[in-house]
């Protein structure tokens, strides 16, 4: 969800205003994704690297996430969206952790769509943690190291039951993966747009889906469409 800061700067506004408008884009994209029948949507809201941003911005973002959960809880539940999170959740402010836990529990009862928010997330860390968990099992004899394969690693990531993303959208023209879902994105189609995240709404999301639909996906094989 890149470009919130630049969006604000262009308008002479504080960066946090960009994040606030970005939260409106989250709502718009959630609506569009539901309309299009997208079952899983993962948003990279805060990376492990983002902690080094100015204290005010970090606090403002954490606050904004809490406000979002409070304000749109009804909308999330009504639309049968299940909230899940991935990352170092224990590093988040305690009140935000509580809000997230409550909504995760409530929204898990009856859902059709899944919204995953990556918070204090880093993909290398996720993979390292998976390696640690596998090593522990091997050391205790629970698992034979010779049987470790791709499936074993995938099963030890944060959300092993979530399918790999088919499409990765990056806004504001950045051409990097920035430590996001490195394992899971192996076969994903990449879509980059120059639009800043606060301006990325329904129309832009449908354009991304349209571009995705034009691609011939091969998974290393030959083109079939
Ligand atoms: C990156 O833009 C954006 C972020 C670090 C924060 C994204 C968070 C939100 C949009 C808040 C709402 C989220 C949810 C899930 C409700 P940037 O600040 O790096 O922008 P820049 O590259 O232009 O500086």
71 CA to middle of ligand 1, Å?
18
What is the arithmetic mean of pLDDT over 208-213? 97
83 lines ligand 1 (CB under 6 A): no
Q: Where would I find the H helices in 90-201?
A: 94-107, 123-140, 150-155
Known active-site residue 50:
yes
d(CA 145, CA 155): 15
**pLDDT bucket at 220, cuts 50 / 70 / 90:** confident
For every residue of 72-101, DSSP letters joined together read HHHHHHHTTEEEEEES-GGGS-HHHHHHHH
Chain centroid offset of residue 225 CA: 29
98 CA to middle of ligand 1, Å?
22
Domains, the chain, in order of start with CATH, read 4-121+167-212 (3.40.1180.10)
Q: Which of 205, 211, 172, 204 is nearest to 190 (CA)?
A: 211
96 lines ligand 1 (CB under 6 A): no
**pLDDT bucket at 225, cuts 50 / 70 / 90:** low
156 CA to middle of ligand 1, Å?
28
Known active-site residue 2:
yes
d(CA 158, CA 88): 10
> Residue with the nearest Cα to atom 19 of ligand 1?
2
Instruction: Quick: pLDDT tens for 120-137.
Output: 999 999 999 999 999 999
Calculate the average pLDDT of the chain: 97
What pLDDT is stored for residue 224 in this prediction?
Answer: 64
26 lines ligand 1 (CB under 6 A): yes
Asked if the model's pLDDT at residue 187 lies above 80, the reply is yes
Cβ neighbours of 123 (radius 10 Å): 23
Asked if the model's pLDDT at residue 219 lies above 90, the reply is no
């Amino acid at each position: 969800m890149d470009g919130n800061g630049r969006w604000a700067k262009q308008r002479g506004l504080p960066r946090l205003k960009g994040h606030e408008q970005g939260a409106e884009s989250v709502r718009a994209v959630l609506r569009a994704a539901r309309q299009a029948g997208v079952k899983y949507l993962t948003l990279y809201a805060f990376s492990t690297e983002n902690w080094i941003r100015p204290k005010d911005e970090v606090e403002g973002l954490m606050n904004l996430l809490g406000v979002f959960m409070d304000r749109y809880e009804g909308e999330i539940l009504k639309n049968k969206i299940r909230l899940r999170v991935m990352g170092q959740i224990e590093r988040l402010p305690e009140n935000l952790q509580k809000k997230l836990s409550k909504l995760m529990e409530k929204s898990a009862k009856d859902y059709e769509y899944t919204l995953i928010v990556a918070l204090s997330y880093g993909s290398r860390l996720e993979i390292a943690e998976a390696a640690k968990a596998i090593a522990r099992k091997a050391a205790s004899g629970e698992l034979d190291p010779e049987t470790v394969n791709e499936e074993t690693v995938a099963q030890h990531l944060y959300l092993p039951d979530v399918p790999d993303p088919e499409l990765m959208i990056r806004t504001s023209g950045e051409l990097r993966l920035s430590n996001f879902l490195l394992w899971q994105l192996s076969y994903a189609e990449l879509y980059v747009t120059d639009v800043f995240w606060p301006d990325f709404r329904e129309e832009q999301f449908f354009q991304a889906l349209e571009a995705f639909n034009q691609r011939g996906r091969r998974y290393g094989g030959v083109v079939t469409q």
